[in-house]
Amino acid sequence: MTRKQIEELIADMTLKEKVLQLVQVSGSAFEQDVEDTGTDTHLSLSTENLAMVGSTLGIRKVEKLNQIQKSHLEQSPHRIPLLFMMDVIHGLRTVFPMPLALGATCKQELLLFHILILRPLILCITKAEDQSEQRPQEQ
């Protein structure tokens, strides 16, 4: 989008739409028949308001992300994409440092080691865990 298009979009938005763009809800807000116990439960967002929120937190599966984004864009009055966030304070399902911590070291060799050696290992482990979650549990 050009700067002019962005300015026109913002000018076209109501105050309510602008405020809801600043709201982040848990991923369970987009699930049917799921009891949400997070801090945003008191918001009681309607379907109309949920279509105007700016971001969501805690959704991992790519298929679910795509499904939620597609639905969000269809319902959003201005077709503004939803931002997906993940709280990764300690390294998202790993014992390895998160990217922000690695960047803070300012050590290029550590970053290269992480990108070239550890990242492929992490992806393999995560993929194996995801596949085991999808298999039915044996009795």
Give me the mean pLDDT over the 51-55 stretch. Answer: 92
Has residue 111 got a pLDDT over 80? no
- 4-21, pLDDT tens digit by residue? 999 999 999 999 999 999
Q: Do 81 and 92 sit in the same domain of this protein?
A: no
Domain range enclosing 10: 3-85
Same domain membership, residue 123 and residue 75:
no
The predicted structure's pLDDT at residue 43 = 64
Q: Are 43 and 61 contained in the same domain? A: yes
Is a pLDDT exceeding 60 seen at residue 2? Answer: yes
61 and 78 in a single domain? The answer is yes
- Together in a domain, 108 and 79: no
* 53 and 92 together in one domain: no
Same domain, 71 and 108: no
Q: What string of DSSP letters covers the chain?
A: --HHHHHHHHHHS-HHHHHHHT-EEEGGGGSTT----STTGGG---HHHHTT--EEE----HHHHHHHHHHHHHH-TT-PPPEEE---TT-SSSSSPPHHHHHHTT-HHHHHHIIIIIHHHHHHHHHHHHHHHHSPPP-
Lowest mean pLDDT among 12-26, 66-80, 86-100, 110-124: 86-100
- Claim to verify: residue 71 and residue 10 sit in the same structural domain: yes
